[in-house]
Amino acid sequence: MNTDPATCLRILSLEDSEPDEILLVRELRRGGLDFDALHVQTREEFQTALTDYRPGLILADYKLPAFDGGQALALAQALCPGVPVIIISGAVGEETAVELLKNGATDFVLKDRLGRLVPAIRRALREVAEHGARLQAEADLRALNEALEQRVAERTRELREKNTLMEEDLRMARELQMALLPHRFPTLPQDALQTASAVRFSSVFQPACSVSGDFFNVVRVSETAVGVFICDVMGHGVRAALVTAMMRALEEKLGEDAADPGRLLTQINRGLCGILHQSGITLFATACYLVVDIACSSVAYANAGHPSPLLVRNAPREVLALTGAETAGPALGLFEGETYLTRELPVTTEDIVLLFTDGLFEVENEQSESYGESRLRQAFARGAGLPPAQLVNMVLADVRHFAEDHLFTDDVCVVSMEIARLQPPAG
């Protein structure tokens, strides 16, 4: 009935009355439908047409010889699921009509009211189109989700591989950084055992991340003197750790100035400023360097913006800050022409010198209250008289108790030096 089967609606009509079929087709044409129709009268023809004709709409009479609309509906749902089925009948009870609709019929039209047929068809086709669009959208969404899940899985795998490599690099960097720290301290005299040395050292080094911005070193300056260098680079992580490696290299390179703390810090600052300015990086590091000479019974020191080292005396029991705000110079890496001054203080037997980074006392409790340097000095004062390692562990426990077992958020580095005995001047 139409010359363009690709665009027209394919209607399968099950009707045993030729006059009724003619009226049906006339009503479809009057409604302006673009359609092609196949008319069948028996169950066998209907069943064959369902598979061969592949209709887009089914119109089924309810009452036929040995066959009815309910059976036709069941066949259509089995062989052409999703195709709308409109039941057409001359007369049928309300219960039957409701049962047909419940079983999947799209609509029910009486033959004496065929004016409802075309609107019913249009509504059915619209619902089919909307359902099809919804199914297509759901399928597209599923496909998109599957594609996204695959991309996420691939990206996760790539990130996992990169993280593994980065963790391996960080682990190696941590091992190298730990290897740069002193693991055997110098003794005075040089051939003395650690336990018999005139100066005895202990240390605590706790990085907050895989690698640390803190660093320390202990060097022999002469047969009667040792030097302790400690620094804290701004920030955390790899960048800070790289600068600590630079600081270590500069400290070793300038070893001839090891006896003069102020001169050593001045030279390190000059070298660090040159490197940082050339690279365009804004960074700085606080540092402190001191030298204890057992022959002179003195400690010489210079400070570059670093927390003041503490001198714990046993007789009388007191804790002294070696440097204050007025005697400490600026941090390293800021002012290339800065000159750092050396200061000196007498020491006596059983004095303990403590150097540390600010991660030791910049710890907060749940009330956001900082432990602070004042509490730190009080804690060391309470522990005066204890061996150095035991004293440091006691203070660490006090800090943790104050912070209510919160983890340290910054690198922690502590170096203690006990003056076990002094050497009288020769002659």
The answer as to whether 174 is a domain residue is no
Judgement on whether residues 94 and 210 belong to the same structural domain of the protein: no
One-letter-per-residue 3-state SS of the chain = CCCCCCCCEEEEEECCCHHHHHHHHHHHHHCCCCEEEEEECCHHHHHHHHHHCCCCEEEEECEECCEEHHHHHHHHHHHCCCCCEEEEECCCCHHHHHHHHHCCCCEEEEHHHHHHHHHHHHHHHHHHHHHHHHHHHHHHHHHHHHHHHHHHHHHHHHHHHHHHHHHHHHHHHHHHHHHHCCCCCCCCCCCCCHHHCCEEEEEEEECCCCCCCEEEEEEECCCCEEEEEEEEECCCHHHHHHHHHHHHHHHHHCHHHCCCHHHHHHHHHHHHHHHHHHHCCCCCEEEEEEEEECCCCEEEEEEEECCCCEEEEECCEEEEECCCCCCCECCECCCCCCCCCCEEEECCCCCEEEEECHHHCCCECCCCCECHHHHHHHHHHHCCCCCHHHHHHHHHHHHHHHCCCCCCCCCEEEEEEEECCCCCCCC
Single-letter code of the amino acid located at 208: A
Question: 178 near 170, Cβ under 8 Å?
Answer: no
Judgement on whether residues 202 and 94 belong to the same structural domain of the protein: no
Phi, psi for residue 311 in degrees, rounded to 5: -110, 115
Judgement on whether residues 262 and 329 belong to the same structural domain of the protein: yes
User: What token pair was written down for 366?
Assistant: 């749940």
pLDDT for 163: 85
Q: CA–CA separation, 332 vs 249, rounded Å?
A: 15
Chain segment 95-143, per-residue pLDDT in tens: 888 888 888 888 888 888 888 999 999 999 898 889 888 989 999 999 9
What Cα–Cα distance (Å) separates residue 47 from each residue in 21, 56, 70, 114, 331? 19, 15, 14, 25, 94
The answer as to whether 97 is a domain residue is yes
Judgement on whether residues 111 and 195 belong to the same structural domain of the protein: no
**Apex 255 CA angle, 249 and 258, nearest 5:** 120
Sole residue written with tokens 């440091």:
392
Q: CA–CA separation, 317 vs 378, rounded Å?
A: 12
User: What token pair was written down for 38?
Assistant: 């196949």
Single-letter code of the amino acid located at 260: D
What Cα–Cα distance (Å) separates residue 388 from each residue in 82, 196, 354? 86, 15, 9
Q: CA–CA separation, 211 vs 315, rounded Å?
A: 40
Judgement on whether residues 253 and 123 belong to the same structural domain of the protein: no
Query: Residue 152 burial by CB count (10 A; 0-12/13-18/19+): exposed, middle or buried?
Result: exposed
- Residue-number span of the structural domain to which 239 is assigned: 182-419
pLDDT for 378: 93
Q: CA–CA separation, 421 vs 427, rounded Å?
A: 18
Task: Give the closest residue to 210 by CA, choosing from 234, 240, 185, 249.
Answer: 240
Judgement on whether residues 129 and 233 belong to the same structural domain of the protein: no
Q: CA–CA separation, 392 vs 163, rounded Å?
A: 36
Phi, psi for residue 180 in degrees, rounded to 5: -75, -20
CATH number, domain of 49, equals 3.40.50.2300
The answer as to whether 65 is a domain residue is yes
The answer as to whether 306 is a domain residue is yes
Question: 204 near 413, Cβ under 8 Å?
Answer: yes
Judgement on whether residues 16 and 110 belong to the same structural domain of the protein: yes
Judgement on whether residues 243 and 360 belong to the same structural domain of the protein: yes
CATH number, domain of 208, equals 3.60.40.10
Query: Residue 209 burial by CB count (10 A; 0-12/13-18/19+): exposed, middle or buried?
Result: middle
pLDDT for 426: 58
pLDDT for 366: 86
Question: 365 near 372, Cβ under 8 Å?
Answer: no
The answer as to whether 363 is a domain residue is yes
Which of 99, 115, 134 is at the close of a domain? Answer: 134
Judgement on whether residues 331 and 400 belong to the same structural domain of the protein: yes
The answer as to whether 380 is a domain residue is yes
Chain segment 297-336, per-residue pLDDT in tens: 999 999 999 999 999 998 788 899 998 767 789 999 999 9
Phi, psi for residue 393 in degrees, rounded to 5: -65, -35
Judgement on whether residues 270 and 333 belong to the same structural domain of the protein: yes
Q: How many domains does the chain have?
A: 2
Mean pLDDT (10-residue bins), the chain, 427 residues: 63 90 90 91 91 92 84 91 88 79 87 89 89 89 92 90 81 77 89 90 88 89 94 82 84 82 94 84 89 95 95 88 83 92 94 94 88 93 91 93 80 94 71
User: What token pair was written down for 301?
Assistant: 């020191």
Judgement on whether residues 272 and 343 belong to the same structural domain of the protein: yes
User: What token pair was written down for 81?
Assistant: 């699921």
User: What token pair was written down for 312?
Assistant: 């714990």
The answer as to whether 159 is a domain residue is no
What Cα–Cα distance (Å) separates residue 125 from each residue in 83, 128, 130, 232? 9, 5, 8, 77
Judgement on whether residues 258 and 324 belong to the same structural domain of the protein: yes
The answer as to whether 300 is a domain residue is yes
Q: CA–CA separation, 424 vs 117, rounded Å?
A: 122
pLDDT for 240: 79
